Amino acid sequence: MAKGYIESLLAQHEKIIMVSRQHWFILFSSIAFEIFLIIAITIIAAVTGVFLSPILGISSGVITIIGAVIAFVPLVSMLFDIFKWRNHQYIITNRRVIQIAGTFNKNVTDSSLDKVNDVHMVQSFLGRLFDYGDIEILTASELGVNMFKRIAKPIPFKAAMLNAKEGLEHGDVDMHTENIPDMITRLDQLRQKGVLNEEEFQKKKSELLSKL
Give the DSSP per-residue string, 69-121.
HHHHHHHHHHHHHHHHHHH-EEEEESSEEEEEE-SSS-EEEEEEGGGEEEEEE
18 shares its domain with 110: yes
Share of the chain above pLDDT 70, in %: 88
Per-residue confidence (pLDDT) for residue 1, from 0 to 100: 46
36 shares its domain with 103: no
Assign 70 a pLDDT band (cuts: 50, 70, 90).
very high
156 shares its domain with 110: yes
What gap in Å lies between CA 130 and CA 107, rounded to an integer? 28
123 shares its domain with 136: yes
74 shares its domain with 112: no
Domain count, the chain: 3
17 shares its domain with 119: yes
pLDDT in tens, 59-68: 777 888 888 9
142 shares its domain with 164: yes
Q: What is the mean pLDDT of residues 121-128?
A: 92
What's the chain's average pLDDT? 83
18 shares its domain with 98: yes
The region of weakest confidence among 83-87, 132-136, 142-146 is 142-146
SS3 content of the chain, % helix, strand, coil (to 5): 55, 20, 20
Assign 211 a pLDDT band (cuts: 50, 70, 90).
low
Q: DSSP per residue over 50-81, as a string?
A: IIIHHHHT--HHHHHHHHHHHHHHHHHHHHHH
Per-residue confidence (pLDDT) for residue 52, from 0 to 100: 72
Per-residue confidence (pLDDT) for residue 177, from 0 to 100: 47
Q: What is the mean pLDDT of residues 50-65?
A: 76
Domain containing 31 equals 26-85
93 shares its domain with 165: yes
pLDDT at 73 > cutoff 50? yes
94 shares its domain with 162: yes
What gap in Å lies between CA 109 and CA 99, rounded to an integer? 5
Q: What is the CATH number of the domain that holds 16?
A: 2.30.29.30
